[in-house]
Amino acid sequence: MRIFVTGASGWIGSPTTTLLLEAGHEVTALARSDTAAAAVPAGATVVRGSLDDLDLLHAEASRADAVLHLAFRHDLAFSGDFAGAVASDRQAIDAFGDALKASDKPLLVASGTLGLTPGRVGTEDDRPDPTAHPRHANAAATLDLAANGVRAIVIRFAPTVHGAGDHGFVATLVDIARATGVSGFLGDGANRWPAVHRFDAADLVFRAVERAPAGSILHATAENGVATRDIAAAIGRQLAVPVSPIEDPGHFRFLGGFFGLDAPASSEITRALLGWTPRRPALLEDLNSGVYTGTA
């Protein structure tokens, strides 16, 4: 297949692109900078542009046999314009959907499990609630494209996609612990975060684009939920700093607004559908081995 990938230089997109190329697929990758272009795995064809170049997205999708939309405007989101990032994401999804209508070609879109079903284990049977979270609204819009002859697929990734080189949530917690001298958690720390290794996540995307049926919701969660106090304890051991509950969410910087959420999510349906079996180290294994603290 000729596959158009956004986010091919990213944390999940890069190993996914490598798997696609190794399987003999032809990959065209969107890159909005020289740095991103250089990070795209060798063998892929790079097309320069951004998620705002809607005509380009439409044209590339029209030429492709499948589209993997793994990019997100994190630059906007982390600068405070999360609404703008979500709007950019939706425009891209709409452009892809229009290009692929009545083709039965796959459009795979990345979403997340965070905030799906607070306080209980979320499953793939939980439909995205457009009113609950802006990215869930985009996931719902993606699934609606199945009625237009698009093999629409949504993969909800765990909030923690971990592994060596991660600069995301867990790496931020490590940085905060180093800076403050304490590894903290909110409340009693019993709230749970799902987790998945980046290479297991990439393997799921690879399987999904080849085999997942239209309207599929898939969960990239190798672990249903890891207690945040256990995450904090592992960080504390590696950095040799005390582990303690923290009352002020601001202590956790941009994570403060959701680090205290209890958001477990299962992937049993995904595993049965695609034969996906996560094989890489679990989150606490990565933490305990020093992957995040430079002691590995």
Range of the domain at 171: 165-194+225-264+280-288
Q: Are residues 229 and 202 in the same domain?
A: no
Q: Are residues 216 and 240 in the same domain?
A: no
Q: Are residues 106 and 188 in the same domain?
A: no
Does residue 117 have a pLDDT over 90? no
What value does the mean pLDDT take over residues 20-34? Answer: 97
Q: Are residues 82 and 38 in the same domain?
A: yes
Is 270 contained in some domain? no
Q: What percent of the chain has pLDDT over 90?
A: 87
What value does the mean pLDDT take over residues 27-47? Answer: 97
| CA pair distance 226, 295, nearest whole angstrom | 22
Q: Are residues 257 and 151 in the same domain?
A: no
Is 269 contained in some domain? no
Task: Please give the model's pTM, rounded to 2 decimal places.
Answer: 0.95
Q: Are residues 136 and 172 in the same domain?
A: no
Number of domains in the chain: 2
| CA pair distance 139, 93, nearest whole angstrom | 9
Is 138 contained in some domain? yes
Q: Are residues 155 and 169 in the same domain?
A: no
The pLDDT value recorded for residue 295 is 66
Q: 65-80: b or e for each residue (b if 16 or more CB lie within 10 Å)?
A: ebbbbbbbbeebbeee
Q: Are residues 174 and 206 in the same domain?
A: no
Does residue 170 have a pLDDT over 90? yes
Question: For 138-164, what is each residue's pLDDT tens digit?
Answer: 999 999 999 999 999 999 999 999 999
3-state SS, one letter per residue, for 40-93: CCCCCEEEECCCCCHHHHHHHHHHCCEEEECCCCHHHHHCCCHHHHHHHHHHHH
Is 170 contained in some domain? yes
